[in-house]
Structure 1
Amino acid sequence: MSHQRPVVVLVDAYTSGKYLLPEFTALGADVVHVQSTTELMSSMPEPDLSGYAARILHEDLAKTVEQLLPYAPVRVLAGQEPGVLLADALSGALGLPMNDGGLSEARRDKYRMTEALQAAGLHCPAQLSSGDVEQLVGWARDRGFPVVVKPRRSAAGDGVHICAGEAEVRAAAAAVLGSETIYGEANPEALVQSYLSGTEYVVDMVSHEGRRYVCGVWEYRKRLLPSGRNIYDRESLLASDEAPAPELTAYVDRALDALGVRFGPTHAEVIVTPEGPALVEVGCRIAGNMHPGFHDLCAGANQATLTALAVLRPEQFLDRHADRQYAKRSEAVCCTTATELDGTVDRVDERVAAEIAALDTVYRFDLKIAPGGRIRPTVDLYSSTMRIFMSAASMADIDRDYQRIDQLKEQVYRLRVAEGAR
């Protein structure tokens, strides 16, 4: 099989991973999709795979490599978090540029990730991983409360509990050990970590040969539920020279070095504690709340475009973007709405949806649940109901429209009425 155009492989291009395909295509490449699981992951919206040059269902490494060899791919990238390990394995087997293979697990497993940072002398939480609930409870008791209990290999806030006492740790650890991650993986162990007190931020970058472009630094605002779940609410863009952005980018740069990251997009979550920045986790993929047009508008560049540029035109990336950072062009907020609704969506109230979309500061408004879909009380990012990108010259204008969205959000989805209630 001969290809005139370069071929790029994306593994599990869920959610914002969908934005990579048109960027690679625009720069003259064909893209092959590899699905790491037998069935598409039900926890995430089904990706549109119609634009790919080929679609491969992964069964085992040797077979997938054999299927990819005729395409002579120039790079393999994770489209979203579940594809990180397989993308590394395929890159190594195909002899392609990749991040440090010896640290692959540390870029996916939160326990190993923190171990790697500790070895590099970076500030990070104390921790214990165990399949024994009482061992986890004992560690937390000795360490002192609060603590955080979470799965080792999930994302989007899945299974993360902030615990103030032994009973909460016991319940949270049992819940993690008795469940699968949002990616359908078993949890043989749960992770307990010391609680990092401070404001949480996002630092998004794209790397090539260890040189990086900072795409954005965002401040998180989360909402703590009585259950101990800390759910996503909104994130706001900082100027690149606004404190603590410079301190955060310097810390994340060192963290990525410690994790062997030399290529591709990264999405890091960091808490600024009284002792300085500490990594919560980093994903070697583009940010879940990344939208190319919105990020171009407010920050002058976006991860999807820059990732394709670094792969296909590396000299241009190094010349124009490496060792540089974004310039904030407007106030910008991405908010994800929570719900207390529980049931099946009968329809979307188009009048309410249109009112939200028409608000002055709303750049883009994404409904996350279609009619017939299940809606349930929000516990993590994937169970939020809407994603809204907002931009304006003034944060006061965004705050005004945000308050109106908060008033309207539970009126967007209309639920089916049970037969017995009619």
Structure 2
Amino acid sequence: MTSSTRPVAVVVDGYSAGNFYPAAFAAYGADVVHVQSTPRINPTMQAPDLTAYSRNIICADESELVELLRPYGPLCVVPGQEGAVRLADRLSEALGVPSNGSALSRARRDKYEMIEALRGAGVRCAGQFKSADPAEIVDWAQEQGSYPVVVKPLSSAGSDGVVVCDSAEAVRTAAEAVLGTQDIFGGANTEILVQSYLRGTEYIVDTVSCAGERYVCGVWEYEKALLPSGKNIYNRDLLADPDADPVPALTAYVDEVLATLGVQWGPAHAEVIVTDEGPVLVEIGTRLNGNINAPFHDVCLGHNQAALTAQAYAGPDEFRAAYAGRVYRRLQPAVVYNTPTELDGVVTAVDETAVAEIRGLESVFFTGVKLAPGARIRPTVDLLTSSMRVFLTAPDDHVLEADYQKVRSLKDAVYRVS
């Protein structure tokens, strides 16, 4: 067991972005305990580095798990990824530590309940309908009188299963594709969600809250490309100027969303489209931005969401004094590029010369090569099937743009495919 002289933070399912938590809490003198909610590690996400934790607890009985965690007297229980949100809410509530509680936990996770909560509070939101029957989904879409509409699973992430549909036939095909499959967290998709299509530019709004006082730690503009298949794939995330429109309107709108969904503590990652009527929520997750790279964010923003979350729990007075009610400063322009590909086959080799050329560009901070020899590569249809993730930042916008274009020209040379 961890030494009683050091505070302890608990991370539930520290996959992907959750891997930044151990170092973030360690900077505040805290040990970190990991809770693994499944008997085996989920293979669809970047696995947690269990060597970074003082202990990994695997326990299927939630009541027993609470008693295993109680002796640590934890500072907090945080979800390491989207699928862990509801369990982390229940554990933190049961342990009596700072918590968003479980009363609105479902609305913070289920996309249908999320939007209905906003509608009930009078917050601007999309029209929607859910059903287990594809025919009913088609009927609802037809009744709207215009296309496109958006079909998606109720509780996934990373644009998994999201399709923009321009006909009844496309709606039926997308709805049937959702049913009978699993989301990226291993949960069964037993219902389908269909929503009105929101026309406008989409933004990320990342926040960290401490006892109900929030800090906006980054706003990023999504640059997307709509494929003929109806898949709206991510291309670039561009760090927005916090003093320019629409950041003030986005901030005010997300404040309404956080209040409606009872977000009092920890990180939130919202996706919002600015329509002609104003900002409208696509979805929000009470967890870290999946595109976080802590050292990269430290350079372009002066902080990162994982470290801010650790500070909110481990040093709340310090956090409130520095950040409560405020908005980030952009230290220099930045881009996150999720490279799309049309390559289709088996990766036979990674061309290290091409990788080195990308990494040698002035503004390239980090390049994540996602596939190894032997892996199957397919044309990009969502965030999960992008071929690489490249983080770029530089004081000069022109350098940033030139390097982005160079990466675009090199991205498919990275993989040799049979």
Range class of TM-score, shorter chain: over 0.9
Scaled by the length of structure 1, the TM-score of the pair is 0.96
User: Which residue does the alignment assign to 1:190?
Assistant: 192
Alpha-carbon shift at residue 194 of structure 1 (Å): 0.3
Summarize deviations over 1:143-195 as a string: whole Å, max 9, x none. 12110000000000000000001000000000011311111111110000000
C-alpha distance in structure 2 between counterparts of 1:372 and 1:36, whole Å: 30
User: Which residue does the alignment assign to 2:53?
Assistant: 52
Structure 1, 263-272 or 374-383: larger mean CA deviation? 374-383
Scaled by the length of structure 2, the TM-score of the pair is 0.97
C-alpha distance in structure 2 between counterparts of 1:105 and 1:50, whole Å: 32
C-alpha distance in structure 1 between counterparts of 2:373 and 2:206, whole Å: 33
Summarize deviations over 1:103-158 as a string: whole Å, max 9, x none. 00000100000011111111110000100111100000011211000000000000
Contact 2:367 2:391 in 1 (8 A): yes
Are residue 397 (structure 1) and residue 370 (structure 2) matched? no
Alpha-carbon shift at residue 239 of structure 1 (Å): 1.4
The one of 372, 377, 380 equivalent to 2:379 is 377
What amino acid does structure 1 have at the position aligned with 2:162? V
Are residue 284 (structure 1) and residue 286 (structure 2) matched? yes
Alpha-carbon shift at residue 384 of structure 1 (Å): 1.2
Equivalences, count: 416
Structure 1, 282-291 or 342-351: larger mean CA deviation? 342-351
The one of 301, 304, 311 equivalent to 1:302 is 304
Report the 3-state secondary structure (helix = DSSP H, G, I; strand = E; otherwise coil) of the residue aligned with 1:101.
coil
C-alpha distance in structure 1 between counterparts of 2:162 and 2:35, whole Å: 29
User: Which residue does the alignment assign to 1:420?
Assistant: none
Report the 3-state secondary structure (helix = DSSP H, G, I; strand = E; otherwise coil) of the residue aligned with 1:159.
coil
User: Aligned ranges for residues 2-401 of structure 1 at < 5 Å?
Assistant: 3-143=4-144, 144-401=146-403
C-alpha distance in structure 1 between counterparts of 2:391 and 2:197, whole Å: 30
Contact 1:364 1:390 in 2 (8 A): yes
Alpha-carbon shift at residue 63 of structure 1 (Å): 2.2
Structure 1, 229-238 or 66-75: larger mean CA deviation? 66-75
What amino acid does structure 2 have at the position aligned with 1:88? D
Contact 1:44 1:382 in 2 (8 A): no
After superposition, the CA RMSD in angstroms is 1.2
Summarize deviations over 1:53-112 as a string: whole Å, max 9, x none. 110123121121122122221210011111101101111221221114210000010000
C-alpha distance in structure 1 between counterparts of 2:213 and 2:72, whole Å: 28
What amino acid does structure 2 have at the position aligned with 1:28? G
Give 5+ residue unaligned stretches, structure 1.
418-422
* Percent of residue pairs identical: 53
C-alpha distance in structure 1 between counterparts of 2:129 and 2:59, whole Å: 33
C-alpha distance in structure 2 between counterparts of 1:343 and 1:45, whole Å: 22
Contact 2:235 2:339 in 1 (8 A): yes
Contact 2:14 2:47 in 1 (8 A): no
